[in-house]
Amino acid sequence: MRILFLGDVVGRSGREAVLAWLPRLRAELRVDLAIVNAENASHGFGLAPDMARTLFAAGADVISLGNHAWDRKELLPYIAENPRLIRPLNYPPGTPGAGLVSLEVGDGRRALVLNVMGRLFMDALDCPFRTSAQELAKHRLGGTVHAIVVDFHAEATSEKMAFAHSFDGQVSLVVGTHTHTPTADHQVLPGGTAYVSDAGMCGDYDSVIGMAKQGAAARFWRKLPGERLAPAEGEATVCGVFVETDERTGLAKRIEPLRLGGRLSQAMPAV
């Protein structure tokens, strides 16, 4: 199975870049499953339903969220009705929406996608390790599902790495999101799970993690609350990873970075 994961979409610049690139990437890379983290898509904070619809229409099979999931209150009824839009699994019971989705990706193959949030320097949610273990015990990679992807939305690389090693061999891909900076540690772990600490963002990198740099820097200089941060609106880089799995086992055969447009060095996976 060929899996494309695009990191946190930030603001209009990021949205427009993803909408422009995603259909082309699906075709050129012959993607079976496309996942987009879009928790910052609406002016940098949350996701509005109309923007979710445009991302689905452009080719996203699943949209994942994170700590900004509820910044747009209008998303609450929408997420309850749209199983392919998922929020962190370890939110408390009764939270609208779901933290995972199982979907068919063609030829009778099924994929399971989980969205989990870390706890170090983040909100004190339920344990992401135990919560994930409980759900993964219900599925067998290479058996009941042909691929399993986990979007681990977290601040600390140590927590992301610990999670990936804990579930190495049980899932196809553990991809970190949230820090908006692509890491260079993409690898296939010894047990066959593809891993990267952070996929990076789809947004303008002439910024402070996607936000206009003047206002963001001023907060560090003065330590005073200022105007609400606004996304940078220059040319975006589309960042993510491409993973190819073994059709029999569901484990990863390779993982490659993807960086297109904007200021960062370019990287396009080989087909």
**Catalytic residue positions?**
68
- Cα–chain-centroid distance for residue 196? 11
Q: DSSP states of 152-177 as a string?
A: EE-S-HHHHHHHHHHTBTTBSEEEEE
Number of neighbours of residue 215 by Cβ within 10 angstroms:
14
Enclosing H/E stretch for 221? helix 213-222
Q: Is 211 left (phi over 0), alpha (psi -120 to 50) or beta?
A: beta
CA proximity to 43, closest of 16, 74, 10, 65: 10
Residue 201 β-bridge partners: 8
Handedness of CA 178, 184, 188, 191 (dihedral sign): negative
- Could you give the 3-state DSSP secondary structure of residue 257? strand
Q: Hunting for tokens 């908006």 — which residue is that? A: 180
Which positions ≥6 away from 137 have C-beta within 8 Å? none
* Cα radius of gyration rounded to whole Å, the chain: 17
- Could you give the 3-state DSSP secondary structure of residue 102? strand
Integer Cα distance of 100 and 1 in angstroms: 19
